Structure 1
Amino acid sequence: MRCLALAVLAGATLWAACTQAAEPTFSADAVRADLKRVLASIEELHPDPGFTMDHKAVAAMAADIEAGLTSPMTRREAWRALARLNPLLGDGHMLVAFPDRMAALQAHIQAGGRLLPIDVRIDAEGRLVLTKPAAGRPVGTQVTDIDGKPASALAGAILARTHGDSPAHARALAGDRFALFHWLMFNGGPEYHIGFAPGDSVTLPGRDSIPTAINPEPAFADTVSDAILPGNIGYLRVDSFDGAGLEAFRAYTTDLFTRFRAASVQDLIIDLRFNPGGDDKLWTEGLAPYFATKPYRIYSQAAVKLHKSIAKPDEAVGSVKVIEGKRYYQPAPDNPAHIPGRAWILAGTRSYSSAILMLTAMQDQGVATIAGQPTGGRSCSSGRVRRVALEGAGLAAFVPDVLFTRPSDQGCTQPVIPDLTVAEDEADPMAAVTALAGMIRQRR
């Protein structure tokens, strides 16, 4: 049985489900200690917190959070409180997180709980819009309410706890993981009453499986796809640079580019629109050797915070070390599978972290043409994220300890701006690919 209660949290009215009796609680002092640990970790690990956050605004929010910690709370309630810091941190790598989310969601489902059964995005006006058909409604249909609560208010409550480099980046993350955030904020029942514009509604059974977009470790096969497009244009979609898949990715691209060469592929589209990053080796070893025609470096410099975990005996803990980007990766023109034409890399709001490093390295040194839409993240990205255990309530914080400056040294606080703009169609992601392929053929 679902029990909805009106809750007031930090001055904002939220519709939160009653806490399940089985959830353990943690003392206010324990959560307060976690809050202090988050703030201390940022100062301990981050080379320049002020690059993305306003210290005064963060301090004011922390004081407001602490004032509200007056009684025991569950892990989810602790996350709801502490995650209010996330938007103010201004970095997609820096956040208070609910750890081991797949196991928690699976336990919820096994106990009879169900997840929100629709897939949505949050548009620039804060509205929920379907990204997959649901209940006979097509992609693009606006969701007006869920269980009688305005969708805009639910989206606003979630965005108030979502990390990201920019509002656009946060909206993309919150939309992709909306079922997770909805569960964190509001208990899911066996069914959901969903309203759609222009005024109809339907009751749907809750979902008893976890959406793929929520999984931090998707199967390798789900992260890549390829095709040969008209005009001998090779297409490769890479949705992750997860280091755990390095060997699989190398094997995959070795076979793929051999097939591309045999099929007389001339030019190449690499689709990074849905790639949140990972390990640079996947693209420096698994992609660039097949299209790069000139040397390139990944960054001009990297600022590293020397904390206890990495400082050498002769280095001062707490200082910042600046490393010049002197390593240049060399092209491999003699590679038998090297494409003869040019590489075009599709970017978008979700391209992040290592994907941004690839975009800026290729753009700044003329190795490939960047196409698509601006990234949601800054073109000078943080990296090497450290996990900090928050032992009071079993949460986790993530803080980067490196800041990379792009090779050109220009536009660090701005997104990566494509060389060639290609419109996006939210209802048809392949439309941008088709459009770019047409542009490539016209430019030959």
Structure 2
Amino acid sequence: MLLRLLPALACLAAISPATAAASAPAPDLAPALTPNPTPAPAPARQPETCADCYGAQEAREDLATLYRRLQQEHVDLFARRDRAAHDAKMAELLARIDGPVPKAEFHLMLHEAMAFGRIAHAKTEAAILDALAHVRSGGRIIPLSVSYRGDAMLTDQWAAAGGALPPGSRITRIDGLEVADIESRARRIISADTDRLLRSQMEAALPIFLHLLLGPRDAVEVAYVAPGGAAGTIMVPSLSYGDMTALQDARPVAAPARDPLRRIARDLGQGIHYLQPGPFLASEDERGETGDAYAIEGFRRFVDDAFAQIAASGATDLLIDLRGNPGGDVSFSDLITARLTDRPYRFASRYEVRAGPATKAIWAKRAAGTEFDPGSLSGRMAAAIADAPVGGRVAVDLPAAQPIRDHAFRGRVWALIDRHSYSNAAVVAALLQDLDIAVIMGEETADLPTTYGAVESFTLPHSGAAIIYPKAYMVRPSGSEETRGVVPDIPLAPGPVGEDRDIMLDQALSRIAAERNALSYTQPER
């Protein structure tokens, strides 16, 4: 991935609920001297005094509040780790507090508490905000930008001057740690359901996570295998954000000229139409003066025009490109999906919410300021939360989306996904697959179509850290509860680092053309 660090952090926020209604131990454990296979991350900084600390009692109270309120609000806190394991983890964290705790260190402890449950939508960003403050103040970070190919962590940008560590190199060690050890440490502070989802977040902002895991460094040693097979090591110096982007601009790496956030509808000829919807939320231009991310009219006009073009073109095949799509809201994506089927449908086979005290208060406030359509998802959610007992987990009867007849498309539908098809993009792909609307091509998504999501948040009393929790559990239309991304019907590998052609798109179009030719060949004469 292109390493543009501040925008990349938005990718982490994009790993959010499929439908919007809507991490590390203390440094004094001397990990290098113990046999712990996943030693504690170093603190972002170690102040000489405790002027920038939380008192021991404040830290303990925040941790206790965190655990108590998560049990009240999280739709299923113990889904992946049972209560006994959580109890032991919280006891371990509390035992580390034997005096004032540096704020940066405590924020990492909060990350560790949240990441322990292995649910991506249960998280805090307190330590990430510390790291971003370091970057914005001119602090230096290790400029490693990476992409995964299978289990291999590959560089996708130049990280230093000279010819060592060229893009496409497979990293084998960072600071003496094997990649598996780096990932194991990262898992302690990054909320992720699966290793694939963990890696996708590391791709988005590895320099930030290295800063949190290793602490400030002037340089780190990186061992690698170059694309040609030669092994090497290099000391990669830390850089300011400005110097890092200047280095990348001075040494550009070829890549497909594609922006996944653009909205594109294009006739490719030979009966194939291409549709890249972009995010399922309003763009900056579409939000207007109100700044409303759910202002849907601009997106509606785009979709109306796109399907009018498709109808006029006489296309028999439609390719929907969801690669790199950060997701958004189902009300947007339904404008597309409803034109591809002649049957009512629901985006999930099950949708349950926990009506915790914070969630009930949040939705009571929303209901007071908004007149919800009782038949809409938001209206049904509001009613279910209001009627449920405090802390109760209740099913929401999802409204069925009705087919849209205007310029409906009844040809062959194909969807292209990758590991960065997040949130509602993964949900749309699962919906198209489960309802037999489309053939899914590409690579497995990192995000999950059966997931804990629809997040809300509360704030801790002393640190002020925002704690994000999932209030809902949704199951994909097929009913599968497997903890896995959307698996394509036709797997397609991404292109190699340094390739400017869109290899995956070319492969997809070749498969569509082959299918068209096969159908033409077998079509009986009239």
TM-score of the superposition, structure 2-length normalised? 0.70
Q: Indicate whether 1:208 and 2:241 are aligned.
A: yes
Q: Which residues of 2 match residues 14-53 of structure 1 at below 5 A?
A: 14=41, 18-19=45-46, 24-53=52-81
Do the aligned partners of 1:357 and 1:381 also contact (CA within 8 Å) in 2? Answer: no
Per-residue Cα deviation, 1:348-406 (whole angstroms, up to 9, x for no partner) = 33334322322232222222222223333443222210112123323222111111122
Aligned to 1:372: 442
Aligned to 1:64: 92
Cα distance, 1:73–1:120 mapped onto 2, change above 3 Å: farther
Of 269, 282, 303, the residue aligned with 2:319 is 269
What is the one-letter code of the residue matched to 1:307? G
Per-residue Cα deviation, 1:74-104 (whole angstroms, up to 9, x for no partner) = 3331132232234431222112332783xx5
Aligned to 2:261: 223
What is the one-letter code of the residue matched to 2:406? D
Q: Which structure 1 residue ranges, 5 or more long, are not aligned?
A: 212-220
Aligned to 1:215: none
Q: Indicate whether 1:395 and 2:465 are aligned.
A: yes
What is the one-letter code of the residue matched to 1:120? V
Q: Indicate whether 1:8 and 2:22 are aligned.
A: no
Structure of greater Rg: 2
Cα distance, 1:363–1:110 mapped onto 2, change above 3 Å: closer
Partner secondary structure for residue 89 of structure 1: coil
Aligned to 1:302: 351
Aligned to 1:435: 507
Q: Which residues of 2 match residues 328-343 of structure 1 at below 5 A?
A: 328-335=400-407, 338-339=408-409, 341-343=411-413
Return the offset for 1:329. 1.5
Q: Indicate whether 1:408 and 2:447 are aligned.
A: no
State the distance in 2 between where 1:121 and 1:76 align. Answer: 28
State the distance in 1 between where 2:83 and 2:58 align. Answer: 24
Do the aligned partners of 1:52 and 1:89 also contact (CA within 8 Å) in 2? Answer: yes
Do the aligned partners of 2:111 and 2:124 also contact (CA within 8 Å) in 1? Answer: yes
Do the aligned partners of 1:164 and 1:170 also contact (CA within 8 Å) in 2? Answer: yes
What is the one-letter code of the residue matched to 1:224? R
Q: Which residues of 2 match residues 112-127 of structure 1 at below 5 A?
A: 112-121=138-147
Return the offset for 1:42. 2.5
Q: Indicate whether 1:109 and 2:135 are aligned.
A: yes
Return the offset for 1:297. 1.3
Which deviates the most, 110-119 or 418-427? 418-427
Larger strand fraction of residues: 1
Do the aligned partners of 1:75 and 1:394 also contact (CA within 8 Å) in 2? Answer: no
Cα distance, 1:18–1:93 mapped onto 2, change above 3 Å: closer
Q: Indicate whether 1:321 and 2:386 are aligned.
A: no
State the distance in 1 between where 2:174 and 2:184 align. Answer: 13
Do the aligned partners of 1:356 and 1:381 also contact (CA within 8 Å) in 2? Answer: no
Aligned to 2:21: none
Which deviates the most, 33-42 or 168-177? 33-42
Do the aligned partners of 1:353 and 1:382 also contact (CA within 8 Å) in 2? Answer: no
Larger helix fraction of residues: 2
Aligned to 1:214: none
Q: Which structure 2 residue ranges, 5 or more long, are not aligned?
A: 1-26, 226-230, 246-258, 283-292, 361-383, 517-526
Aligned to 1:280: 330
Q: Which has the higher contact order (CA 8 A, sep 6+)?
A: 2
State the distance in 1 between where 2:88 and 2:339 align. Answer: 50
Identity %: 24
Cα distance, 1:304–1:109 mapped onto 2, change above 3 Å: closer
TM-score of the superposition, structure 1-length normalised? 0.81
Cα distance, 1:303–1:204 mapped onto 2, change above 3 Å: same
Aligned to 1:167: 195
Cα distance, 1:374–1:109 mapped onto 2, change above 3 Å: closer
State the distance in 1 between where 2:392 and 2:40 align. Answer: 43
Which deviates the most, 150-159 or 89-98? 150-159
Of 76, 79, 100, the residue aligned with 2:104 is 76
Do the aligned partners of 1:25 and 1:73 also contact (CA within 8 Å) in 2? Answer: yes
Of 141, 150, 154, the residue aligned with 2:169 is 141
Cα distance, 1:71–1:410 mapped onto 2, change above 3 Å: same
**How many residue pairs are counted as aligned between the two chains?**
424
What is the one-letter code of the residue matched to 2:66? V
What is the one-letter code of the residue matched to 2:472? V
Partner secondary structure for residue 51 of structure 1: coil
What is the one-letter code of the residue matched to 1:62? M
Do the aligned partners of 1:120 and 1:178 also contact (CA within 8 Å) in 2? Answer: yes
Do the aligned partners of 1:300 and 1:405 also contact (CA within 8 Å) in 2? Answer: yes
What is the one-letter code of the residue matched to 1:19? Q
Do the aligned partners of 2:421 and 2:445 also contact (CA within 8 Å) in 1? Answer: yes
Return the offset for 1:113. 0.7
